[in-house]
Amino acid sequence: MSTSPDLVPAHALDAADPLAAHRDRFVGAEQPLVYLDGNSLGRPLRVTGERLRSFVDEEWGGRLIRGWGDVGEGGWMDLPLTLGDRIARTCLGAAPGQVVVGDSTTVNLYKLLHAAAALRPGRTEVVLSADDFPTDRYVAESVARERGLHLVWIEPAEPTTGVTDDEVAAVVGEQTAVVLLSHVAYRSAAIAPLAAVAEVAHEVGALVLADLSHSVGVLPVQLDRTGVDLAVGCTYKFLNGGPGAPALAYVAARHHAGLAQPVTGWMGHADPFAMGPGYEPAPGVRRLVAGTPSVLSMQPVADMLDLLDEVGIEAVRAKSVALTTFAADAGRRLLPDARLGSPADPERRGGHVTLLHPRMREVVAGLWQREVLPDYRDPGGLRLGLSPLSTSFAEVEAGISAAAEVLAGLA
C-alpha cells in the first residue's frame, strides 16, 4: 500500500510538522472553531493586543508629537519605509528603498497605474485580466477613463491556470503602457509567471504592475529577480495586520527618477515640515506617501514579520504546499462531486485552494453555522485559505469533512 499524501492522516501530518507549535501563538488557536479564511483576514498574534496597548500608553501617549521625528530620524515618519524594507527583505526578495507601506491596496493601485502611464507617455493601452480582483479592474477602468487609455482584457482560457505569458504576449504591443496582473489569483490561487510576463512585456517596452495581495507572506516572491516594475499588496491577509491594515507599494529603483503619482500629499513632499509653496516630490518611493501615515495600524504587521523572520519564508512556503496538497487530496476523497478549482501542480498554486460545486454557496452558509469559516467565491467556489503558521492539517480535514456533511444534507 502506497503512502500517497491523501492517506497520511491529518494528525500524523500535524505531529510531523516542524511549524506546528507556532499555531499557539495566534489568538483563538485553542478554540474548536475551524478557520479557513486566513487569506482574507489573518488571525491576530497573541502578542499584538499587548503591543497595541503599550503603543498607545508608551509611544503615542508618552512620545506624543515627538514620536513623528523628521524624515531620517527613525521615528514614525520613517515607518512607511522601514516597515516596507522589512517586508521587502522577509517576503519580497526586494532590495531596500523600493517598498512603502501606507494607504489601501486600492489607493496604491490608483497611484501606480497613474505612475505607469506617466512612465510610458504616449502609449494608449493597459492590459489586464478579466479574472483580476474587482478593485484592480475598477481602478484600472477609472484611471483609463481619466487618462484616455484603452483597456485590453485577457480572458484566461482556463481559470485554474491563471494568466500565462503566452496570453500576455498575444496582446501586448508598442501601444501597451502597462500589464496589470495578480501574482496569485484571488479565486483559483494560480500563480502567474511574473518573470516570463515581465520578459514579454519588456520586449515591447511595456511595464508590469503586479498585485501581490495573495502572495506576500505565504510564498517567496523574489520581486527584484522577476523584473516586475511596480507592485502593490495587502498586509491583512498573510501578514496578519488586522482589518484594513495599510497596504504596500513597490517601485523598482530604476523607475524612481521618473516616478510621479497624482495624490500629492504633504507627507510625500521632499521637505514636509517646510510647508512651502508647490509640491516637490521626495526622493524615491517616499513620494508615494500621501497623507499622514497610519502608524497605529502598522504595528501588528511588525509582529508577524518578527515571526516570519524567525521561521523563514521558505519554510512557510513548504508548509503551505503541504497544506494545499492535503486540502486538494482531501477534497478529492471527501467531496468527490466537487472539482478542484486551483492548479493541481503545487508549484503553480498559492496559499489557498478552491473546490468547485454548483451548491457551494449553500455549503459555505451551512459551514458558517457550524463555526467552520471558509470563504465563498462565485461561481460555486469553496475557497480554503490556509495560513501556514496558524492552520493545522486537522483543521483542514475537519473543514472539508464538514463541507461533505453539509453538501450531503442539502435537499
Which are the catalytic amino acids? 133, 211, 236-237, 383
Of the candidate residues 246, 331, 350, 351, the single one contacting its own copies (CB under 8 A)? 246
- By the rule CB under 8 A, 248 interacts with its own copies: no
Task: Please list every residue from 209 through 238 that binds its own copies, using CB under 8 A.
Answer: 234, 236
Binding of residue 297 to its own copies (CB under 8 A): yes
**Shortest separation between residue 273's beta carbon and its own copies, angstroms:** 9
Least distance in angstroms from the C-beta of 278 to its own copies: 7
Among 254, 378, 410, 411, binds its own copies (CB under 8 A): 378
Query: CB of residue 61 vs its own copies: minimum separation in angstroms?
Result: 3
By CB under 8 A, residue 239 contacts its own copies? no
Cβ-contact 247, 233 below 8 angstroms? yes
263 binds its own copies (CB under 8 A): yes
By CB under 8 A, how many residues form the interface with its own copies? 81
Span interacting with its own copies, options 60-68, 199-207, 250-258, 328-336, rule CB under 8 A: 60-68
Give the nearer residue to its own copies in terms of CB position, either 59 or 397: 59
Instruction: Tell whether residue 257 is a contact of its own copies (CB under 8 A).
Output: no
Is there a contact between 164 and 182 (Cβ–Cβ < 8 Å)? no
197: left (phi over 0), alpha (psi -120 to 50) or beta: alpha
Q: What is the DSSP string of 148-185?
A: T-EEEEE--SSGGG---HHHHHHH--TTEEEEEEESB-
| Helices of type H across 134-293 | 134-147, 165-171, 194-203, 223-226
Examine residue 50 and tell whether it contacts its own copies (CB under 8 A).
Answer: yes
The answer to the question of residue 346 lying near its own copies (CB under 8 A) is no
Stretch that binds its own copies, among 51-59, 120-128, 332-340, 346-354 (CB under 8 A): 51-59
Beta strands 230-233 and 207-211, pairing class: parallel
Question: b/e map of 54-88 (b: 16 or more CB within 10 Å)?
Answer: ebeeebeeeeeeebbeebeeebbbbbbbbbbbbbb
110 binds its own copies (CB under 8 A): yes
The CA-based angle 223-226-230, given to 5 degrees, is 60
Q: Closer to its own copies at the Cβ: 52 or 221?
A: 52
Q: Please state, in angstroms and rounded to a whole number, the distance separating the CA atoms of residues 160 and 344.
A: 9
- In the block, cell 500524523 appears at 12
Q: Quick one: which of 66, 158, 174, 258 contacts its own copies (CB under 8 A)?
A: 66
Say whether residue 330 binds its own copies (CB under 8 A): no
Q: Are strands 207-211 and 176-182 parallel, antiparallel or unpaired?
A: parallel
Q: Kindly state whether residue 274 participates in binding its own copies, applying the rule CB under 8 A.
A: yes
Which H/E stretch holds residue 254? none
Residue 306 in contact with its own copies, rule: CB under 8 A: no
The minimum distance between CB 105 and its own copies, in angstroms, equals 6
What angle do the packed helices 393-409 and 313-334 form, to 10 degrees?
30
For 301, residues 6+ apart whose C-beta sits below 8 A from its C-beta are: 83, 87, 101, 235, 239, 240, 241, 245
Is residue 244 near its own copies by the rule CB under 8 A? yes
**Given the rule CB under 8 A, which of 86-94, 251-259, 288-296, 337-345 is the region that contacts its own copies?**
288-296
Set of cell numbers at residue 324: 494545499
Taking the chain, what is the end-to-end CA distance rounded to the nearest angstrom?
Answer: 37
State which of residues 247, 249, 353, 372 lies at the interface with its own copies (CB under 8 A): 247
Footprint (CB under 8 A) of its own copies, residues 132-191:
133-135, 137-139, 141-143, 146
245 near its own copies, judged by CB under 8 A? yes
Indicate which single residue of 5, 258, 291, 409 sits in contact with its own copies (rule: CB under 8 A): 291
Q: Which is nearer to its own copies, 122 or 278 (CB)?
A: 278
Which residue type does 272 have? P
Is 232:250 a contact under the CB 8 Å cutoff? yes
- With binding defined as CB under 8 A, does residue 250 bind its own copies? no
Report 18-37 residues binding its own copies (CB under 8 A): 26-28, 33, 35, 37
Cα 126–Cα 132–Cα 135 angle in degrees, nearest 5: 85
**393 binds its own copies per the rule CB under 8 A:** no
Reply yes or no: is the peptide bond before residue 346 cis, omega within 30 of 0.
no
